[in-house]
Every structure is written in structure tokens, then in C-alpha cells.
Amino acid sequence: MTTECPNCRTLRARWEAVQAKLEEVQAKIAALEAELRRGRRQAAPFSRDDPKPNPKPPGRRRGKGLFTFRLVPPEEAIDETIVVPLEACPDCGGPLEDRASHEQVQVDLPEVKPAVWRFRTESGYGPRCRKRARSRHPRQVSSATGAAGVSVGPRAKALAAEWKHRLGIPYRKIAELLQTAFGLKVTAGGLCQA
């Protein structure tokens, strides 16, 4: 029978407490590292760690749910009807039998072209008031001339501000989008200053 000194007993009790705390901290670190890996993973960040043993097959069951398709617009909404005839078989060149007519409706955005307005204004000197006066149109955003004589209009500025502040798109991408979609050449710095 070995007898332990009181110091050894207290040291052993402390050591066991520290050992238990160390195991608890190591478990927490392992759990946090797994969570961090899960957050950085590109493939399926929404996947579960423990999948169900017998999952149901994906998709809607046959005959269940509301099946819809895009409705054909009314006749007055159709801008143009294009007829594409088929005179002969494109493969053999022979005549066709059992002909049928088919219809497809395509909905697309209209081509957008920037509106360009030129304002020819006048200015003159008033000898009574001794000031230079200048004419101005209500649609003019600026009365600048010379190097600053070409400016972006209010609609383009409003759209850029909407994309920037509501959707969070950077000015550089907004400038690219305006060029690609609308044919409006503008720089990111110009949008920022506007």
C-alpha cells in the first residue's frame, strides 16, 4: 500500500481537472473547425451532415400539384407575325405530305437605343443689370459647355443610383452594363461623380 502525500493528491486532482478541461476544449475546437470547413466548402453548403437513412425521391409526384405554362399573349399584344414556309423537304428536296401548321410565340425585350438631345442655348449681356444671361430648357441637367458639354441624363443617373444603392452593383459593372445593354458609354468615375 502506497500512501500519497497531501501535495501529491491536490496536484493529481488539479491535473485531472486540467485534463478534463483540455478534452472539452479540444472537442470544441474540432467542432468549430468542422463548422469552418463546412462554411468554406463550395459544393452544396446546404447539405446535411447526417443524411436521412431512407430519403424520398426528389421532385413532384406524378399527377400532384398545379401544372402551368406561359400563357400566349393576347392578339393585340403581338407586334409582328412572321410566317416561315416549308416548300420542300430540306433533306431530300421532295414534296411534303401531311402538312401541319405550328405556332410559337417569343417574348423578348425591345432593343434599347440611347436618346441623344442637343440643346442649342443662347446667352447675352444685359447692359442694365450688367449680368450675363443664359437660356435653359427644363430637360437640361447641366448648363456646362466646352469639355463638360456632354453629360449623362437623369434617367441613366437614376438607374445607376438604383443599381448601386439598392442592388449593390459596383460602378465599374454598372458602366459595363449600360454599355452592353443600352449602348451608353460612361465611365465608373463619371457615374460616381454624377
pLDDT at residue 52 greater than cutoff 60 = yes
Which pLDDT score is estimated for 22? 95
**What one-letter code names the amino acid at 191?**
L
Tell which residue, 172, 140, 135, 170, has the closest CA to residue 153: 140
Task: List alpha helices for the chain, DSSP H.
Answer: 6-40, 154-165, 171-182, 188-193
- Domain ranges in the chain? 152-194
The answer to whether 178 touches 160, Cβ cutoff 8 Å, is yes
Which pLDDT score is estimated for 146? 77
Tell which residue, 69, 101, 72, has the closest CA to residue 85: 101
Which pLDDT score is estimated for 18? 93
Mind listing the pLDDT tens digit for each residue in 143-170? 888 777 778 888 888 999 999 999 999 9
Confidence class of residue 9 from pLDDT cuts 50, 70 and 90? confident
pLDDT, average across residues 8-32: 92
Which pLDDT score is estimated for 93? 86
Which pLDDT score is estimated for 50? 74
**0.85 exceeded by the pTM?**
no
Mind listing the pLDDT tens digit for each residue in 91-150? 888 898 888 888 888 888 788 888 888 988 898 999 998 898 889 888 887 888 877 777
Which pLDDT score is estimated for 51? 77
Which pLDDT score is estimated for 46? 62
